[in-house]
Amino acid sequence: MELTIDNIRLRKPQPEDAAALAKAANNKKVARNLRDGFPSPYKLQDAKEFIQKCIDENLTNFSIFHNDVFCGLIGLTITQDACLTRVEMGYWLGEAHWGKGIATKAVRLVSEYGLKQLGHEKIVAVVLEYNPGSMRVLEKAGYTFKGYTKETGSKHGVPHDEYHYEITS
């Protein structure tokens, strides 16, 4: 399955993406904006394991291509606890692809897919306080700022505010 708009193409991660994924992800500026579970340094083996997990577990993740060049990843994660099911948007681009509108288009595509095709009523996204670029991406893609929580996020043990966004069907 592929999602496309203009010169942006999204498709399920494939083993042939591993080298490009590892190269783009192995960047401290990329890792800084992601959860601590994101490996840094990011090695080829990390990429291979992630791609295999996507395949084995049929995760809602997509490789992002701009003009047929691998740029990053985007996906929806569903979490459930006793009283809440939550669908969260997550994405990243390699630094060489920042500021080109690629992330905004990818977020729009996956949000539309999640809301219309998968039937989710709401998708949320959480951004650490020091990542205004990601906040702008979400706002341009139609997400609404819902507020922030003080020092509920952390990066390498340092607490940070989290900014919460959502889009509804």
Quickly list DSSP for 34-98. Answer: S-TTS-SS--HHHHHHHHHHHHHHT-EEEEEEETTEEEEEEEEEEEE-SS-EEEEEEEEE-GGGT
Q: Convert the pLDDT of each residue in 25-35 to its tens digit.
A: 999 999 888 88
120 pLDDT more than 70: yes
At residue 81, does pLDDT exceed 80?
A: no
Query: Per-residue pLDDT averaged across 68-95, rounded?
Result: 90
In the prediction, which pLDDT does 114 show?
A: 95
According to the model, what pLDDT value does residue 147 have?
A: 94
Which pLDDT belongs to residue 154?
Answer: 60
- Averaged confidence pLDDT in the chain: 92
> How many other C-beta atoms are found inside a 10 Å radius of the C-beta of residue 85?
11
More confident residue, 120 or 150: 120
> What is the DSSP secondary-structure string of 107-155?
HHHHHHIIIIIS--SEEEEEEETT-HHHHHHHHHTT-EEEEEEEEEEEE
Which of 5-9, 72-76, 77-81, 99-103 is predicted with the least confidence, judged by mean pLDDT?
77-81
pLDDT for 113 beyond 90: yes
Is it the case that residue 70 has pLDDT exceeding 90?
A: yes
With cut-offs at 50, 70 and 90, classify the pLDDT of residue 45.
very high
| Mean pLDDT across 93-117 | 96
- Looking up tokens 């490996």 gives 39
Q: Which fold has domain 2-168?
A: Aminopeptidase (3.40.630)
Whether the per-residue pLDDT at 156 is higher than 80: the answer is no
Q: How many CB atoms lie within 10 A of CB 87?
A: 20
Is the pLDDT assigned to residue 155 strictly greater than 70? no
Q: What is the pLDDT of residue 41?
A: 94
- The position carrying tokens 């509920």 is 152
Query: What is the structure's pLDDT at 130?
Result: 87
